[in-house]
Chains A and B, each alone.
Chain A
Amino acid sequence: MPYVFLEDMATADIAFEAKGKNLEELFIAAAQATTNVMVRDLRQIKAKERREILIEDDEIDMLLFNFLQEIIFYKDAEQLIFSRYDVKIRKEGPHFKLKAEFYGERLDMMKHDLIVDVKAVTLHQFEVKKTDAGWEAIVILDI
């Protein structure tokens, strides 16, 4: 899996590390990790609904921060949870522009093995960095 949950980094919250060969892969991995905190098996989520996301930011880490918040937003506002994320990121001058399509369906306690709710993405030790192999991020989610 392109992400791992970290045992000793956060006590009451959940920390994960995500990796990708490029920014798109990193963002998809982080999105899956965030969803996987809430739903045990992502394969249980059918791609019945589609939502389009547009975000821009000068900072790559804030771009990821805002991107992950979209997942939390749809979970509360429309009870939607996603299993597929198509992400495109391009740089225009100082701006990162992200366009994404989320595919998923309404939460259903009988159908999805739900775990815990994510309240927020925190900026505590939040980090996006370029490595030799691509990109890595550390994220702590408030539970």
Chain B
Amino acid sequence: MPIPKGVERISDTIWEIPSSFKENMKVPARIFATEKIMLDMDQGVFEQVTNVATLPGIINHVYCMPDAHQGYGFPIGGVAAMDAGTGVISPGGIGFDINCGMRLVLTNLTFDDVKPHLKELVDLLFQRVPAGVGSKGFLKISKEQFREVIAKGARWCVNEGYGWREDLERTEENGCIEGADPSKVSERAIDRGYNQIGTLGSGNHYLEIQVAKPEHIFDQGLAHAFGITIPNQVVIMFHCGSRGFGHQVATDYLQIFLRVMEKKYGIKILDRELACAPFNSPEGQDYFAAMKGGINMSYANRQVILHRIREVFERVFNQSAEKLGMNMVYDVAHNTAKLERYDINGRTRELIVHRKGATRALGPGMEGLPEIYKGTGQPVIIGGSMETGSYLLAGVESGIQSFFSTAHGSGRTMSRTKARKMFEGRRLLKEMEERGIYVRTSSLSGLAEEAGPAYKDIDDVIEATGKAGLSKKVVRFVPIGNIKG
């Protein structure tokens, strides 16, 4: 498809849409992509990224990652930083699935160790980690306890015995973001979420057993520092978020913001999904505190899932998770807004950085990194399609150009409705098994929607993030077992 008129190429991998492109754009938009990716870019992205550029208080540029595609309001793969004093916060810039993210877990097992047990492992994981429409978790907690989870995140789980202290150090925000306020969330959000801790959800959410082949180690030193040390080492990667709780928080505040945005604050927007409120307003602050509850719920969700995964491996291999070396590499989210400090034109300013389908990727030495990764930069976990592969990257200094953000996945190119017509779940399952990927799914039609060709080529996306200097390629993983939500 043609690149729209007015889009200027300013380097091999940076494309700029000037603020003259559309009325009221306050800053230009920048898309990070190779020419190949740009030529196939979802046309909706150009419209949406320039809509975002009209929001009050936006700083520098709106950014779009190479895996971008059309979303609702903001594009998926969008990054927008607003001045905390004069700018807005928008649920559409975060996504309904607040703090949806990736967790990567090591083992000291190799492909040969796991191969004879693969089916047993995947079957048991499928049984122990609920997935699919309306699934309930095994944790039976009261609504009151759930409010504690919202306030304490993964810390609550570790205190209750679901995980190791070390897991918290290896989670963004140490698994608990400060300032989450359960009193700012609705009863409906609690009702939707309190029985869902420890569940994957569905759509593109999954849990995978993957292998790091020697030919897929791109930076030996960084791979070693991140714990990838054995040839054909087996790792576990999973992708999920804050479930119905987060979805409801976003839905609630979308409506609150629509009621006050224009009447009370005089803000006009181009798409109702861009509903926003001044960050520094009662509504904006309430949403920020409620959204942080979603962040914590999601860390807790992934923490409990990790606990279940460790239990399954312990049972199958008859060894403790400690002996099996099941340490976390990292947990990083790609649907958030966070307060961060940046030097803007010689002045330190506090910005509310929205990342929707974009991963934070801190460079070496930065504040917010755990001690073990101070020298390496932040591990960035990128999930590809279930048929192709996934990546572990590292944050780099030049990430400053996108407020230290990079891609979050392959990026879809085909609609679910179309994929469902083109692919057949049962056949796909069989073909994948023949290629050495054993899949269990809660839905064959859901599986068909996730077929590899429905996504961009993950290798192209990662190459683009590397060339653009957003992150550095460390390891590529290939899937051998998949639990599809």
Contacts and interface: CB of A to CB of B under 8 A. Distances in A.
Contacts of B485: 117
Using C-beta atoms within 8 Å of the partner chain, give the interface range for chain A.
35 or more
B224 interface: no
B239 to A, nearest CB: 13
A123 interface: yes
A73 B133 contact: no
B446 A116 contact: yes
A114 B73 CA distance: 28
Interface string B231-258: 0000000000001100110110011001
B412 interface: yes
A73 B188 CA distance: 8
B69 A77 contact: no
B83 interface: no
A73 B189 CA distance: 9
B280 to A, nearest CB: 24
A123 B272 contact: yes
B133 A119 contact: no
A86 interface: no
Interface stretch (A6-14, A20-28, A130-138): A6-14
Nearest to B419: A7
B68 to A, nearest CB: 10
B133 A115 contact: yes
Contact of B272 (A8, A126, A143): A126
Interface string B242-286: 011001101100110010000000000001110100000000000
A123 to B, nearest CB: 4
Best-buried of A38, A62, A72, A142 by chain B (most CB within 10 Å): A142
Nearest to B448: A115
A77 B192 contact: yes
Interface string A69-109: 10011011101010000000000000000000000000101
A124 interface: yes
B449 interface: yes
A122 interface: yes
Contacts of B193: 76
Contacts of A63: none
Interface string B89-105: 00000011100000000
Contact of A11 (B69, B188, B203): B69
Contacts of B73: 122, 124
Nearest to A9: B415
Nearest to B416: A14
Which of A7, A10, A120, A125 counts the most chain B CB atoms within 10 A?
A120
Nearest to B48: A124
Nearest to A121: B251
B70 A117 contact: no
Contact of B415 (A7, A75, A124): A7
A37 to B, nearest CB: 9
A117 B201 contact: yes
Interface string B173-212: 0000000000000001001110010000111100000000
Interface string B445-456: 110010000000
Contacts of A125: 271
24 contacts: A8-B415, A10-B416, A11-B44, A11-B69, A12-B416, A14-B417, A15-B417, A72-B247, A73-B191, A73-B192, A76-B248, A79-B136, A109-B132, A114-B446, A116-B202, A116-B449, A117-B202, A119-B244, A120-B96, A122-B96, A123-B254, A123-B275, A125-B271, A143-B202
Interface of A: 5-15, 38-40, 62, 69, 72-73, 75-77, 79, 81, 107, 109, 113-117, 119-126, 140, 142-143
The 5 closest A-B pairs by CB, nearest first: A124-B72, A76-B244, A123-B272, A76-B192, A117-B202
Given A69-B251, A77-B191, 15 more contacts: A7-B421, A11-B413, A12-B71, A13-B71, A14-B415, A15-B415, A76-B134, A76-B196, A77-B188, A114-B132, A114-B446, A122-B73, A123-B275, A124-B71, A124-B271
